[in-house]
Amino acid sequence: MTDYITIPKTPQTPELRVPYWIDAQGKERGPLTLAELGDGYKIIFCFKAECPGCHARGFPIMKKLVDNLSGKGFGFAVIHTAFDDDPRNSQDRIAEMQTKYDLPVPFGHDPKVGDQYPSFMTDYRTRGTPYFVIINPDGSLAFADFSLDADRLIGAVTAAEQDRRD
């Protein structure tokens, strides 16, 4: 069987330190942990409310991934990495985006604190938005970049499922 998904091992990914979350139904909840995203792969999408690329490319990619990979060993979360002082990037925007893009997954708000970048950006060394992170089931980092080829990932998962059936 070909392993279409796992990338070579990297160091363990840090635990999430995002301070504010809403659950998949838009209700406020406590901090989310990586374990709550399940035992499989974890896909985290980072956005900024006033980022045109997030709306043009990022959210449609995440929507396609959630629609096609939910229930197939993937857990999902979305993080609003508000790395500037623009008041339009407030935590109130996450419920708006969750509804607008019909994404029933946890959404977090990770603000800049003083001169410090948001915790996720610091811990995962992201460089802006839109940004995607995939974590392997063993906790190692599989992927981190500004874009993700959703069709290619979905195709790889479909092929791996077919291999398992054969």
pLDDT for position 6: 47
Give the H/E segment covering residue 104.
none
pLDDT for position 4: 42
CATH of residue 142: 3.40.30.10
Angle at 132 between CA 19 and CA 117, to 5 degrees: 40
Residue 14 located in a structural domain: no
Q: Which domain holds residue 122?
A: 20-165
Tell me how far apart the 2 most distant CA atoms of the chain are, in Å.
55
Number of structural domains found in the chain: 1
**Residue length of the chain:** 166
pLDDT for position 11: 73
pLDDT for position 84: 83
Residue 10 located in a structural domain: no
Beta bridge partners of 110: 81
Taking 70 as the pLDDT cut, the residues of the chain under it are 1-10
* Alpha carbons within 13 A on the beta-carbon side of 9: 4
Burial classification of residue 30, based on how many CB atoms lie within 10 Å of its CB (0-12 exposed, 13-18 middle, 19 or more buried): exposed
Local structure of 85: helix, strand or coil: coil
Q: Give the pTM.
A: 0.91
Which tens digits make up the pLDDT trace of 25-56? Answer: 999 999 999 999 999 999 999 999 999 999 99
Residue 91 located in a structural domain: yes
Residue 12 located in a structural domain: no
Residue 123 located in a structural domain: yes
pLDDT for position 10: 59
